[in-house]
Amino acid sequence: PIPNHIAVIMDGNGRWAKQKGAMRIFGHQNAIKAVRDVTEGCAEIGVKYLTLYAFSTENWNRPKLEVNALMQLLISTIRKETETLTKNEIKLETIGNTCDLPEKCQQELKEAMDLTKDNKRMTLILALSYSGKSEILQATKRIAEKVKNNVIQPEDITIETIGNHL
């Protein structure tokens, strides 16, 4: 059976490059081919959703030069790959605090998402400026707001309630 949703945590690219005696960004640049191969492979076998955990909130703590290079890599990759996404009927979406990204990144993402919004074969979800802790915090706030407005009662909060707000 083919999974409906696959999630990939993109980790170790910088360490791989350093082991090769190269700068960390070299590893990130080389990861693009792996991302392309995984995305196309998932679409070919019938996976409906592919989530790539590409840039966590903790990544903002990296050296400024590396963060800037990663943002430039994101922009250039989106520009290069949007046509391929469209041709392969892959819809692009994001999760995370994308408003934290540089304006140019936000603009490129919005344009690519608009161009691919009607694609049906697979949805590629980029987790950008994402944190599991932040996601839990946001879900908790949404539930608290519903309790405050008497939409739900505290005793009615279940694991499913939390899951529905993530």
Q: Known catalytic residue: 37? A: no
Establish how many alpha carbons lie within 13 A of residue 124's alpha carbon, considering only the half-sphere containing its beta carbon. 27
Catalytically annotated residue among 30, 59, 97, 119: 59
Distance in angstroms (rounded) separating the CA atoms of residues 85 and 108: 14
* Candidate list 11, 37, 114, 156, residue with the active-site label: 11
30 carries an active-site annotation: no
DSSP line for the chain: ---SEEEEE---HHHHHHHTTS-HHHHHHHHHHHHHHHHHHHHHHT-SEEEEEEEEGGGGGS-HHHHHHHHHHHHHHHHHHHHHHHHTTEEEEEES-GGGS-HHHHHHHHHHHHHHTT--SEEEEEEEEE-HHHHHHHHHHHHHHHHHTTSS-GGG--HHHHHHT-
Question: Which positions are annotated as active-site residues?
Answer: 11, 59
